[in-house]
């Protein structure tokens, strides 16, 4: 049999080699794009939570959790059925009721309000502890209630939250703030975020000029994460960078300096109108203004 010429021998077409090279280059291109991309942990958490709700995944809730999203109005009252009426107008009669009739015998109005505020502060603190128990056990977070000042103080240690000399949040810190914000949305009061550092000066190679800049940036990073994850109203926040002006311990050892590097989130419940009911009967009698019975001057006595 005659041998086929070189150009007529069967085989892989020449264009396949070019096509394979092009596919390899495209694959390398998309791998590089993926390697350069960053995962937004906050948005990933939000999407994962919504997906779990959509597919009916049940989250285990500790027995000490305070039920969220319930209202006393819906527990004790039910909407009435609308019925037609022949009246052209609706009138409402009111009666004068002695205030504070439902308080305990032997207690003053101010004392009962203070007791209710103390109970509310402790209940809010327990709800935060239940959600953030893992970080509290690990020593990364401390939650304290100050009933006297009607405040809840959450102290975040530097360990596990920020890199040394940096204000960039770690993924573990973002997850902590995400869960914290879900509880803070149901807690009233203003939020103050304070950044604290030790007294070691910032090195010349750092991006920050001083500890003031570092503490302010860390406080702002925490506030931004809480607002984004909440959603929390920006008007509730106040951000402060205090540098080393308010240390927890003297800056005389490495351990004490580590305790001083922290971010504190303070929930102020003192301005909550529901916590401090007042009545006219609580006002001292000396500040009540007596009516002025002096007759008004007549037109004849007016002088210019």
Predicted local confidence at residue 195, as pLDDT: 94
pLDDT band at 288 (very low <50, low <70, confident <90, very high): very low
> Which residues, 6+ apart, have CB-to-CB distance to 203 below 8 Å?
165
Predicted local confidence at residue 105, as pLDDT: 52
Q: Sheet containing 237-241: which strands, arranged edge to edge?
A: 141-146, 151-157, 262-268, 190-196, 237-241
- Neighbour-count burial of 43, counting CB atoms closer than 10 A to its CB (0-12 exposed, 13-18 middle, 19+ buried): exposed
Predicted local confidence at residue 121, as pLDDT: 81
Domain boundaries, the chain: 108-272
Task: Report which listed range, 86-100, 251-265, 276-290, is most confident.
Answer: 251-265
Predicted local confidence at residue 279, as pLDDT: 38
Whether pLDDT at 132 is above 80: yes
Predicted local confidence at residue 304, as pLDDT: 38
Q: How far apart are CA 54 and CA 56, in angstroms?
A: 6
What is the SS3 assignment for 233?
Answer: coil
Q: Whole-number mean pLDDT of the chain?
A: 75
Whether pLDDT at 2 is above 70: no
What is the SS3 assignment for 238?
Answer: strand
Whether pLDDT at 282 is above 70: no
Query: In this structure, how many other beta carbons lie within 10 angstroms of the beta carbon of residue 175?
Result: 18
CATH number of the structural domain 108-272? 3.30.1330.60
How many helices, marked H, and strands, marked E, lie in the chain? 8, 5
Predicted local confidence at residue 252, as pLDDT: 92
Predicted structure pTM score: 0.55
Helix axes 109-131, 171-184, angle to 10 degrees: 150
Predicted local confidence at residue 75, as pLDDT: 52
Predicted local confidence at residue 14, as pLDDT: 81
Q: Give the residue-averaged pLDDT of 13-18.
A: 85
pLDDT band at 224 (very low <50, low <70, confident <90, very high): very high
Tokens (6 digits) for 240: 């402060």
pLDDT tens digits along 159-198: 778 877 788 888 888 999 999 998 998 899 999 999 999 9
Is 141 within 8 Å of 135 (Cβ atoms)? Answer: yes
Of 123, 125, 131, the closest CA to residue 59 belongs to 131
Query: In this structure, how many other beta carbons lie within 10 angstroms of the beta carbon of residue 78?
Result: 8
Predicted local confidence at residue 93, as pLDDT: 54
Predicted local confidence at residue 4, as pLDDT: 53
């Amino acid at each position: 049999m005659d041998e086929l010429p070189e150009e007529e021998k069967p085989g892989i077409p020449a264009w396949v080699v070019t096509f394979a090279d092009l596919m390899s280059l495209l694959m390398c291109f998309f791998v590089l794009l993926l390697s350069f991309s960053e995962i937004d942990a906050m948005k990933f958490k939000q999407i994962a939570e919504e997906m779990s709700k959509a597919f009916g995944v049940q989250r285990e809730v500790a027995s000490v959790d305070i039920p969220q999203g319930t209202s006393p109005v819906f527990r004790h009252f039910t909407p009435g059925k609308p019925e037609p009426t022949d009246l052209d107008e609706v009138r409402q009669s009111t009666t004068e009721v002695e205030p504070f009739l439902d308080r305990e015998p032997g207690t003053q109005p101010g004392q009962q309000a203070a007791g209710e505020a103390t109970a509310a502060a402790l209940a809010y603190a327990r709800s935060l502890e239940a959600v953030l128990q893992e970080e509290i056990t690990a020593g990364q977070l401390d939650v304290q209630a100050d009933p006297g000042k009607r405040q809840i103080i959450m102290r975040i240690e530097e360990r596990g939250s920020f890199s040394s000399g940096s204000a960039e949040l770690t993924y573990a810190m973002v997850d902590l703030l995400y869960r914290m914000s879900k509880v803070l949305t149901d807690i009233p009061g203003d939020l103050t975020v304070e950044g604290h550092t030790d007294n070691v000066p910032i090195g010349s190679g750092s991006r920050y000029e001083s500890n003031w800049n570092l503490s302010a940036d860390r406080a702002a990073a925490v506030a931004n994460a809480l607002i984004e994850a909440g959603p929390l109203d920006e008007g509730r926040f106040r951000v402060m960078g205090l540098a080393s002006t308010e240390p927890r311990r003297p800056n005389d050892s490495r351990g004490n300096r580590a305790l001083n590097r922290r971010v504190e989130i303070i929930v102020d419940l003192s301005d909550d109108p529901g916590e401090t009911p007042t009545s006219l009967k609580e006002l001292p009698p000396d500040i009540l203004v007596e009516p002025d019975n002096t007759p008004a001057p007549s037109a004849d006595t007016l002088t210019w």
